[in-house]
Structure 1
Amino acid sequence: MIENKIDFIATIVVNNANPNGDPLAGNMPRTDSKGYGEMSDVSIKRKIRNRMQDFGHEIFVKSRDRVDDDFYSLEERYLEHFKGNKNDLEVEKGVLEKWLDVRAFGQVITYEKKSIGIRGPVSIGIAKSLDPVEITSMQITRSTNGMKPKNEKSRSSDTMGTKHVVEFGTYVIHGAVNCFYAERTGFNEEDLNVLKEAIQTLFINDASSARPEGSMEVKDIYWFKHSSKIGNVSSAKIKGLLEWDRENDMKEQYEDYNLRLNEEKLKEYEALGLKVEQLEGI
């Protein structure tokens, strides 16, 4: 079992890509009311689940294009393994033993008139860019018809579209692992190492027309290990450790931010038992 609370901070660089489109805004990159870029926690967990699956682990919530068991709904996947089991405790235990993403993020089981809520130990917040992002939109056309037009020489109505990208941005992910919830779900040190590697390799096998290969990269990961289950300092104080140069408004590359941890505060927290490991994305 995990005996030490974990916090982590990961930085992500975006170059001419759409890190997370908003379906209610024509799939434009998500931004807040002040123009800062956002990636939803759901999109980040999706990428982590995909990496878990790439590593050979069984996961419950699979993307439709990554289904490898012929079950295209969660209900079908659940019923294949637990149909007719009347005991909620046995179902919960079986689900946690079988699927890594449930041990990590939790799940609500509502099949066969059940209502089992599992709270996962891994929490991840919405990723935000350090500066407001510039979004470029371009019109795109196809050189062929997707559907047969009424006039053979004309184009069908599906040949026009719009593509949106963030020209450049640096996003920050904050997350934590709660020891008490990990004890309940069985999330252990081996699972924790899988999570760490998944974050390091977040964009491997994630390329698409919106995110071409090399357009998104994990740069730095700060991995904080507390000396107790409850933690030496709060997760909010851990978030406050990250600093960067705010004066330069014309940042064109990651190095222009001069990202680092506040050394004075870090020494204070290390004196309380906090340990930090800095990793690079792979």
Structure 2
Amino acid sequence: MSILKNKIDFAVVVSVSNANPNGDPLNGNMPRTTYDGYGEISDVCIKRKMRNRLMDMGESIFVQSDDKKNDSYDSLRERAKANLALMAAEKAKSNEEFAKIACESWIDVRSFGQVFAFKGEKDDKDDKKGGVSVGVRGPVSVHPAFSKDIVSVSSIQITKSVNNESNDKAKKSSDTMGMKHRVDFGVYLIKGSINVQLAEKTGFTEDDSEKIKEALRTIFVNDCSSARPDGSMAVYKLYWWVHNNKIGQYSSSKIHNSVHIEKKSQCEQSSSIDDYTISVKNLEGLKLEEYDGI
């Protein structure tokens, strides 16, 4: 499959209904919001979901989460050591070959990039050998997603009715209180682009771009949890712009700003995607593909 030849920009309109799209561990796992009250989903969270979808599609992923991993490795170092060609490049101290093999082996490395920073291991003589420090810049960049309007966050108290431990102290506190948080409703916009110059360096192909597209279109498939019940988060539209050259006919900023999300009425709080009008301004000569979510 040929290396990507034309720059790509994309935008995904996402609806959130009674779900926590991205909890903040530094704030009691409440949904992330800006200081102004707009909802936020971090780029790291979005790429995690994309990696999970690519795994579902049968792709090899380097950065796997513990609850989704499909191998027996407990760390990135162990997963890297299992790649014999990669270890041969490390032993030869060839950073260029190391990066090339890593990109060929895992789609998330050649898409998003990766920092390989592993310490050397001690041998029988207690001498430290090996080790690697290699950075790969990936062509696929993803912005944090923000909601169109200020979101309303609801919190409820929850209790547990079963003890974790069998000691007397635990028996006296079986109804321990906790909190659960959710966004009542919000429309978020995910934005990103794919850079051809970096694609040439990592070996990112036209076929890879189609897989990234499908991962975005189906990003919430097989992603349900207690905080995100099935159907509570959905892709409404995926916009996919393909330029006619490497650098791009328009800036990514101008393209992303061509997506307009407006309320149909001036109601204080929206409760459905149908409360919004979503349109895209046509940019002359630029190819736009539009897809419905699943």
With the shorter chain as reference, the TM-score category is: over 0.9
Instruction: Give SS of 2:236's match.
Output: strand
CA positional deviation for 1:152: 7.8
Alpha-carbon distance in 1 for matches of 2:88, 2:138: 25
Q: 1:179 aligns with which of 192, 196, 214?
A: 196
Inter-partner Cα distance in structure 1 for 2:171 and 2:274: 52
Quote the residue 2:276 is aligned against: 257
Q: Report the count of equivalent residues.
A: 274
User: Which letter maps to 1:135?
Assistant: V
Letter in 2 for 1:198: A
SS at the partner of 2:192? strand
**In structure 1, distance between residues paired with 2:110 and 2:170:** 56
Q: 2:156 matched to 1:138?
A: yes
- The residue that corresponds to 2:290 in the other structure is 278
Tell me how far apart the structure 1 counterparts of residues 113 and 170 of structure 2 sit (CA, whole Å): 54
> For 1:109 and 1:91, how far apart are their aligned partners in 2?
10
| Equivalent in the alignment of 1:118 | 136
- Is 2:238 the partner of 1:231? no
Counterpart code for 1:259? I
Within 1, Cα distance between the matches of 2:189 and 2:65? 24
Q: Which amino acid aligns with 1:279?
A: Y
Percent identity between matched residues is: 48
Contact residue 149 and residue 156 of structure 1 kept, 8 A: no
Task: Decide whether aligned partners of structure 1 residues 107 and 151 sit closer, same or farther in structure 2, where only a CA change above 3 A counts.
Answer: closer
The one-letter amino acid of 1:199's match is L
Mapped to 2, the partners of 1:281 and 1:143 lie a distance apart of 39
SS for the counterpart of 2:246 is coil
Alignment partners' CA distance in 2, 1:185 and 1:152: 54
Deviation, 1:245, is 2.3
Q: Secondary structure at the match of 2:166?
A: coil
> What is the DSSP-based 3-state SS (H/G/I as helix, E as strand, rest coil) of the residue aligned with 2:146?
strand
Cα distance change, pair 243–72 in 1 and its aligned pair in 2 (3 A): same
Measured in 2, the distance between the counterparts of 1:245 and 1:79 equals 51
For the residues of structure 2 that align with 1:58 and 1:152, how far apart are their CA atoms? 44
Quote the residue 2:25 is aligned against. Answer: 23
Name the amino acid aligned to 1:261: V
> Do the aligned partners of 2:12 and 2:239 also contact (CA within 8 Å) in 1?
yes
Residue in 2 that maps onto 1:212: 229
Question: Is residue 164–residue 170 contact of structure 2 (8 Å, CA) maintained in 1?
Answer: no
Tell me by how many angstroms 1:241 deviates.
Answer: 0.4
Structure 2: tracts of 5 or more residues without a match: 121-130
TM-score, structure 1 normalization: 0.93
Name the residue aligned to 1:12.
14
**Correspondences of 1:52-201 after superposition (within 5 Å):** 52-81=54-83, 82-85=86-89, 86=92, 87-111=94-118, 112=120, 113-150=131-168, 154-156=172-174, 159-201=176-218
What's 1:44 paired with? 46
Distance 1:221 1:67 in 2: 27
RMSD, aligned CA? 1.4
Q: Work out whether residues 18 and 183 of structure 2, in 8 Å CA contact, stay in contact via their aligned partners in 1.
A: yes
Unpaired segments ≥5 residues, structure 1: none
